[in-house]
Amino acid sequence: MYNSSVTENPDGRTVNRHVAPNKICNHFNSYGLLCDEYDQLRERAQGRCEICGTPEEDTTRGSLVIDHYQADDLFFVRGLLCDKCNAVMARHDRKVAWGPATRPLADRAAEYHRNSWGATPEQLRQAAERIAASRPWSKRLSGYDPAFDDQEVARQSRPDQTV
């Protein structure tokens, strides 16, 4: 709900339009997004998860989450997602291994990432480099399947290279 009494910072940056007047919006506290920027995100998503299209009211928590990419100092907001697709992006970012349930969404996840709301082309280039280089999950984790591990497949197709 929008406030009738909105606090404007001296530079006109509003950070509490979506909460009570004495509070600060979570999109600002957690992601540094101004209310205007959050409204732009919501405008783009049109009330649906930006990967699977689930309407906001049908998501597990009843609201879309702000999805972002972060690796060390590299940070940008990608868009608004349902909880399930937010978990898919952890696979896309190679923080968790793909599995049979998430793998079918890989192409849509990659396309969504390329259309990140808050990323410059340079940030996308750096993110692609870091994602390609990362392989943090352990083969010992349950659910690990080399068929879903792009780097493992690539390795096996180059048998004469030492790794």
Q: Rule CB under 5 A: which residues touch Zn ion?
A: 17-18, 25, 35, 49, 51-52, 54, 82, 85
Nearer to Zn ion, 112 or 119 (CB): 112
CB of 136 to Zn ion, least distance (A): 24
CB of 25 to Zn ion, least distance (A): 3
**Closest listed residue to residue 80, CA positions, set 26, 42, 52:** 42
Nearer to Zn ion, 17 or 92 (CB): 17
CB of 124 to Zn ion, least distance (A): 21
Which tokens in the block code for residue 89?
């992006």
**Closest listed residue to residue 113, CA positions, set 153, 135, 86, 146:** 86
CB of 114 to Zn ion, least distance (A): 17
Q: How far apart are CA 103 and CA 30, in angstroms?
A: 29
CB of 33 to Zn ion, least distance (A): 8
Nearer to Zn ion, 18 or 68 (CB): 18
Nearer to Zn ion, 54 or 102 (CB): 54
Nearer to Zn ion, 38 or 149 (CB): 38
